[in-house]
Amino acid sequence: MSRRFWLLGILVVAVFALTSSVFTVPEGKQALLFQFGHLKVNQKGVPVVLEPGLHIKLPFVAQARQFDIRAQALSLNVPVHMSKSGIDGNAEYEVYWKISELAQFYQSTGGAWQQADTLLSQLLTGHLNLTANLVDDNTLLLESASALTKELGITILAINYKGLALSTNALNTTYQIMRDAQEQDAKKLRMNGKLDADKIVSDAEGQSTIIIAELQANASKLRADGDAQAAKIYSNAYSKDPEFYSFLISLEAYVATFATKKDVLILTPDMQFFNYFNQPQAQPQTQLKSGQTH
């Protein structure tokens, strides 16, 4: 009975030892072996890195620690100062990185992800602050950043610029600069508009002056033609009947003189102005002769 008990105990220990010595490293991860708390190295003194797959270790003595070697994300805020405008802010970046040398990564960070993020932030913040404005090619920026983080066993996969975060004072300063620029543009537009309006008014006044001058010239010509025609008519009338012409001229003078009822003339009796009033018989005779002529 005791023999069976011991055999059963040995079998249980063997199964437990077997299950403890066999382990699997999944895809996307690597593992390091530790024996008695120390990192296991090969004959050349290089740490042993286990790739994805099935592995065997000494039970109870060795432990395997797995690390994710897939892409990791890190948010960075890089302080920036715009000397021209005097505005301070933070340039926001999204950095993607992965473990390229697991042994180096462990030795530089102790295998702590928080320590890795801290070291990366310190290295990349200073690097981006110095080179982001000088390097336009993102490939060159990645290469220079990866060279800087190689000592950490890390490779930089991508550096994406997200935007510029400004403080309240910086935002107010920026808005004021924008408002000043818009006011300057508005002043230029108003000045240009006033110049255009003045030009339109000037052109219109010039055109109206030309039109008025042409109308005045035409009116003067018409008046001159009318006066000439009237003079011709009067001349013809005078040549046919001088006395009747004199009668018409006197009538026009009477009408012009007594245009209103308030007109008063002071004349001497011997003046010829009212000759046709003083000699009423002369007019009918002239009219009779004129009628006989017709």
**Do the domain assignments include residue 176?**
no
| Neighbour tally for 247: CB within 10 Å | 17
- pLDDT tens digits along 180-217: 788 888 888 888 877 777 778 777 777 878 888 888 88
- What's the DSSP call for residue 150? G
Among the candidates 49, 68, 87, a domain finishes at: 68
Among the candidates 42, 68, 94, a domain finishes at: 68
Q: Are residues 256 and 234 in the same domain?
A: no
**Do the domain assignments include residue 229?**
yes
Closest to 47 measured CA to CA, from 58, 57, 36, 34 = 34
CATH number for the domain harbouring residue 151: 3.30.479.30
- pLDDT tens digits along 101-157: 999 999 999 889 999 999 999 888 888 876 655 555 667 778 888 888 999 999 999
Is pLDDT of 289 > 80?
A: no
Q: How many domains does the chain have?
A: 4
- Whole-number Å distance between alpha carbons of 254 and 265: 11
Q: Are residues 128 and 55 in the same domain?
A: no
pTM confidence score: 0.53
**Do the domain assignments include residue 177?**
no
Q: Are residues 232 and 211 in the same domain?
A: yes
Which phi and psi (to 5°) does residue 141 adopt? -65, -40
Instruction: Give the mean pLDDT of the chain.
Output: 77
CB 122 within 8 A of CB 76: no
- Say what the pLDDT of residue 265 is: 64
Give residues with Cβ within 8 angstroms of 92, minimum separation 6: 75, 76, 77, 78, 161, 162, 163, 164, 165
Q: Are residues 60 and 77 in the same domain?
A: no
- Whole-number Å distance between alpha carbons of 289 and 104: 146
Q: Are residues 236 and 251 in the same domain?
A: no
Q: Work out the pLDDT band at 25, boundaries 50, 70, 90.
A: very high
156, with CB counted inside 10 A (0-12, 13-18, 19+), is buried
Residue 259, domain extent:
242-293
Q: Among 34-48, 93-107, 174-188, 248-262, which is the least confidently predicted range?
A: 248-262
Which phi and psi (to 5°) does residue 89 adopt? -165, -170
